[in-house]
């Protein structure tokens, strides 16, 4: 186990030495304003990735002494890897990757994709499997993103298609291959404590608070970015209120469940993504938030059990509801040019196929074998 | 209970549909700089409202599985409501509310007013009562703010009068009506745990760290805002040191009490509010912090018990000390033009009257009846 | 004990009244841009000092009900003190200290120095001793910083020499004097809980996330600051991955230890400090991160026990590894002008001497005597 891991890290360090060689003569002379335009959004997204996702994962004791630490490791790994892969496809000129804060933002988006996909398989994969999944997902994501932006020239400011839909269908592809029938009856270790609930609410709140920065980081500057921030805030807030209302109505005794708060309140941020910088009017943003929330809530209640039982898709954290259904609504709401529709389906196809292949890699005997208890503890 | 709540939410959703109609043809073409000027402060205030207040309320188990979640619900509700009400009074032209990040900042201030007022009645009101209180307080606050800014043209950059004094006297008005004699003897469930103490200290720290952004978000840009940030930092820091010193001196054994840290350290931020952008000199800011802290500390020790016993005003979290006394000191320190004095007293009057009326609404039998245990759990 | 403390505070408040007199006629008319250039970095550093360090110290129950609260007190105290001392040396013109947000940033750096030095003596000093240490360290630091910047004109954007090396050797000087042989066998109260581990990981993450702001706050604006942010991010991320890999390899069973995550992941941020704004290429930043991490990790494993046993230097939190060794690597990586080398050694000498003298002051009987249990509880 240790040997495998050190092999993994040795391979990784070598690869990064290559990267260094590529970057070495790099002329890093960014425009003054590029930094000041991008850095505040980068800082916010840093908080979302490391604190927000970290706290959300804190409740998972399977990944060793703290899901937060595992999130720390994976996020750093994925960002570094994405800087290189995306750099190769999108930011290389004359054989050099030109590095700026904007690359870091793009790499953190790739990292978010990986962390979202994890949601489908958390609890039935070992840490090493998850690292391999990150290793494989980043290139597939980068190629799909590069192709869509370069050849199809679609507008997807908030990343509903290229981030959320991709992450969702990749994750579903992986979980489809890793199907474990016995898990449908529930698992003894899935319960959480009062303390871990508090932590994951804090994580949700950090994601909620900085989501406008996430959705607007890559828009055009000026009024486009202003609209993106307003729409994201409005959609998040309407989806939050809808989530509380629906949670009260759908659950017995009018109790609000923790899972609803943690997941469904964020649905509006995804739903508004594909059209976040357009002149869709605040009212439309509000409606998108409500619709996304309703779809997400109903998905948790009816679609997830259906997928698990009949299609062999066990979606542990329900990413199909929070990122799949809402992503589709978002795309429908964006101006549906032929190319956008094509991008939606090709992204879903590429993601699902990549996920399925990754799933088979993860099933290779020497990856699946490590006992989780020995690895991180 | 569920029916009441769904009725509340149905009414709410209808109302927001109205809002949509109003906003629909809105021309959201903000100036480029408006966003970049305002967004960093908005992001900081977001953290204060959702993380800071959320963690402060985390210790309250009465409001269901987590005060943090209840804070999330109320804050979202109040901000959305305030965008409409304030928009109607202050930001509407030609029948349309013109929406920008600046509106969101104003709405978060209205939300802060509601959350401060809650401090007076926490523990003896049901969640539904608190939502109704938010529903009623936002319009009263908005009318008072609009009248003071439009007709009296006062300067209240840090909101000592319009935010803190208003919130305080509104809350006291409500708690005056909801007087429960038996609570004066203390309550078994009021004690907190080590863990909830840590969380509320984290909440206090987030409020402390970003308070300069709160006090300076609506000042003139340039040196006014620079002064506002410096004064707020100085006043907060002097009031923090004074709080530690006084806490050591006033308490037996020289022990520092948790409540002092959570509340009194923030007094300086309020005291400096009304004159935060003026040329009052750093020394005056320092002195204001010390005075505010001392008044707040003595208020907790002597005034709060007096109010509870003799004036039927049970101020659970002592908002009269942290927001009332300090607000008055702040006003006295501001240039006392006749109009400012008039604003102070009219704000206190409007707030107290609004609070008393709201208190009577909250006493209506179908609002007071819900058992807290059944609602959020 | 109380009398001593109130005496301390009375002395402090008097002194600050003097300060007020000095500042009173101050013309605070900052350039517009100065605020907008500096404030975002100030806000980030605020979070690092109060939330990041606070959470890191939360696990220490010796300092009363919460290390977080003690961090709050000390940080506020040190920043206020540093504003005056640094102001006297660096920002005074015509007998007045000219105050701006940039002073606050500098003061927070001085505060960081104090908090780093604390790491060497935590657990064997009383709160009052630590406050006295803060009182004495800030002037020594300020004089050294002022002399180095004014007369030696060195470039130390990230503060590897003036902040990290100074803090390290000052702390080692103090701990050398306060040597307690019996502590080498370990102490019963040193163990931590699951909950405090989570909190300190959150603290580490906040430091990690905002470290680019820390390292770039005082660089030249424009491409220098852009490079500083990129290099810091790259070095942090490479040192984090190296820390995970080394932790797995060096520890039995391949388990990752908590202490490694909390400390060693941050090593890259220090190592890259002295050359953070130079054209060292991203690859060099990556390599510096790896080297810093390796040195830090090996320091914890071999050097710290050696220092404790043979040189009477008990370095509780291993600051010599995280700030000393890495600081030296950082200096070696910076362009080694004669003056830089001179600064390195003079800083180490001044720091160690100041620390030793401070250690003797802390040993004065009326400071050492207070029982920790009575003081903060």
B305 touches chain A (CB under 8 A): no
What is the predicted pLDDT for the residue at B287? 83
* C168-212 residue pLDDT tens: 889 888 888 887 766 555 544 455 566 677 888 888 899 999 999
Chains that touch A (3 or more CB pairs under 8 A): B, C
Burial classification of residue A293, based on how many CB atoms lie within 10 Å of its CB (0-12 exposed, 13-18 middle, 19 or more buried): buried
Chains that touch B (3 or more CB pairs under 8 A): A, C
**What region, left, alpha or beta, does residue A180 occupy, with left being phi > 0 and alpha being psi -120 to 50 degrees?**
beta
Cβ distance of A5 and C245 shorter than 8 Å: yes
What is the predicted pLDDT for the residue at B32? 47
What average pLDDT does range C128-142 have in this prediction?
87
What is the predicted pLDDT for the residue at A374? 39
C-alpha distances out from residue A75 to A52, A81, A86, B329, C211, Å: 12, 10, 16, 49, 16
Cβ distance of A230 and B32 shorter than 8 Å: no
- Report whether pLDDT(B61) > 50: yes
In Å, the largest CA–CA distance within chain A is: 65
Cβ distance of B249 and C2 shorter than 8 Å: yes
Q: Band of the pLDDT at B207, cuts 50, 70, 90?
A: very high
What is the predicted pLDDT for the residue at A208? 92
Reduce the DSSP state of residue A44 to 3 states and report it: helix
CB C56 within 8 A of CB C118: no
- Report whether pLDDT(B369) > 50: no
Q: Band of the pLDDT at B253, cuts 50, 70, 90?
A: low
- What residues contact residue B18 under an 8 Å CB cut-off, 6+ apart? none
What is the predicted pLDDT for the residue at A186? 53
What is the predicted pLDDT for the residue at A207? 92
What is the predicted pLDDT for the residue at A348? 77
Nearest CB to B40: which of C40, C54, C104?
A: C40
Measure the CA–CA gap between C289 and C265, rounded to whole angstroms.
9
Nearest CB to C286: which of A20, A104, A374?
A: A20
- What residues contact residue A238 under an 8 Å CB cut-off, 6+ apart? A268, A285, A286, A287, A289, A290, A293, B16, B80
What is the predicted pLDDT for the residue at C65? 59
What average pLDDT does range C343-361 have in this prediction?
77
What is the predicted pLDDT for the residue at C207? 92
Reduce the DSSP state of residue B128 to 3 states and report it: helix
What is the predicted pLDDT for the residue at B120? 83
C-alpha distances out from residue C20 to B226, C13, C80, Å: 19, 10, 12
Q: Token digits for A365?
A: 């005997």
What is the predicted pLDDT for the residue at A369? 44
Residue C196: count other Cβ atoms within 10 Å of its Cβ: 19
Cβ distance of A69 and C245 shorter than 8 Å: no
* pTM, two decimal places: 0.86
What is the predicted pLDDT for the residue at C114? 92
* B219-230 residue pLDDT tens: 877 778 888 888
What is the predicted pLDDT for the residue at C17? 37
Q: Token digits for A291?
A: 């619709």
**What is the overall mean pLDDT for chain B?**
76
Measure the CA–CA gap between B207 and B268, rounded to whole angstroms.
12
Q: Band of the pLDDT at B193, cuts 50, 70, 90?
A: low
Chains A, C: CB contacts within 8 A come to 129
What is the predicted pLDDT for the residue at A230? 87
- Report whether pLDDT(C376) > 80: no
Query: Looking at beta carbons, which residues of chain C come within 8 Å of B213?
Result: 43
Measure the CA–CA gap between C129 and B225, rounded to whole angstroms.
38
Nearest CB to A230: which of B1, B19, B28?
A: B28
- Report whether pLDDT(C340) > 80: no
Q: Band of the pLDDT at B210, cuts 50, 70, 90?
A: very high
Which regions of chain A are under pLDDT 70? Answer: 1-34, 59-65, 91-96, 181-195, 253-255, 334-340, 365-377
- Contacts of range A54-57, beta carbons closer than 8 Å, 24 or more positions apart: A54/A203, A54/C201, A54/C202, A54/C205, A55/A199, A55/A200, A55/A202, A55/A203, A55/A206, A55/C202, A56/A200, A56/A203, A56/A204, A56/A207, A56/A262, A57/A122, A57/A203
User: In this predicted model, which residue has the larger pLDDT, B331 or B228?
Assistant: B228
What average pLDDT does range C34-49 have in this prediction?
85
Measure the CA–CA gap between C71 and C79, rounded to whole angstroms.
12
Q: What is the DSSP letter of A24?
A: T
Q: Band of the pLDDT at C253, cuts 50, 70, 90?
A: low
- Report whether pLDDT(B185) > 70: no
Looking at this predicted complex, what is its ipTM? 0.85
Name the A residues in 49-108 with CB < 8 Å from any C CB.
Answer: 50-51, 54-55, 58, 64-66, 68-69, 72-73, 76-77, 79-80, 99-101, 104
Measure the CA–CA gap between C54 and B330, rounded to whole angstroms.
30
* A248-282 residue pLDDT tens: 787 776 667 777 777 788 888 888 888 877 777 77
What average pLDDT does range C229-234 have in this prediction?
88
Cβ distance of A73 and C240 shorter than 8 Å: yes
What average pLDDT does range B47-52 have in this prediction?
91
Cβ distance of C9 and B290 shorter than 8 Å: no
Residue in chain A nearest C277 by alpha carbon = A28
A181 touches chain B (CB under 8 A): no
CB A248 within 8 A of CB A254: yes
């Amino acid at each position: 186990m240790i040997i495998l891991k050190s092999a993994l890290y040795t391979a990784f360090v070598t690869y990064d030495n290559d990267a260094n060689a590529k970057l070495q003569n790099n002329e890093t002379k960014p425009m003054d304003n590029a930094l000041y335009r991008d850095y505040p959004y980068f800082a916010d997204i840093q908080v979302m990735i490391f604190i927000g996702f970290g706290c959300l994962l804190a409740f998972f004791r399977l990944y060793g002494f703290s899901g937060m630490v595992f999130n720390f490791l994976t996020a750093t790994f994925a960002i570094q890897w994405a800087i290189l892969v995306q750099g190769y496809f999108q930011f290389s000129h004359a054989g050099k990757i030109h590095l700026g804060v904007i690359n870091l933002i793009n790499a953190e988006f790739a990292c978010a994709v990986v962390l979202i996909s994890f949601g489908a398989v958390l609890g039935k994969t070992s840490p090493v499997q998850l690292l391999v999944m990150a290793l494989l997902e980043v290139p597939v994501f980068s190629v799909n993103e590069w192709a869509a932006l370069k050849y199809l020239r679609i507008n997807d400011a908030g990343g509903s298609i290229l981030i959320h839909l991709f992450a969702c269908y990749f994750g579903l592809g992986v979980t489809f291959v890793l199907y474990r029938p016995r898990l449908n009856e529930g698992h003894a270790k899935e319960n959480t404590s009062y303390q871990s609930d508090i932590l994951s609410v804090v994580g949700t709140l950090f994601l909620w608070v900085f989501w406008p920065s996430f959705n607007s980081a890559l828009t055009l500057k000026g009024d486009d970015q202003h609209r993106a921030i307003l729409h994201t805030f409005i959609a998040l807030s309407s989806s939050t209120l809808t989530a509380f209302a629906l949670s009260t109505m759908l659950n017995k005794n009018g109790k609000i469940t923790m899972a609803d708060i943690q997941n469904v309140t964020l649905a509006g941020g995804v739903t508004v993504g594909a059209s976040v910088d357009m002149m869709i009017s605040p009212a439309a943003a509000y409606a998108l938030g409500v619709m996304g929330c309703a779809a997400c809530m109903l998905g948790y209640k009816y679609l997830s059990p259906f997928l698990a039982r009949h299609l062999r898709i066990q979606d542990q954290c329900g990413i199909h509801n929070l990122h799949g259904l809402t992503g589709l609504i978002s795309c429908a709401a964006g101006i549906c040019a032929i190319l956008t529709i094509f991008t939606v389906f090709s992204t879903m196809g590429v993601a699902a196929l990549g996920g399925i292949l990754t799933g088979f890699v993860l099933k290779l005997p020497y990856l699946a074998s490590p006992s989780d208890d020995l690895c991180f503890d």
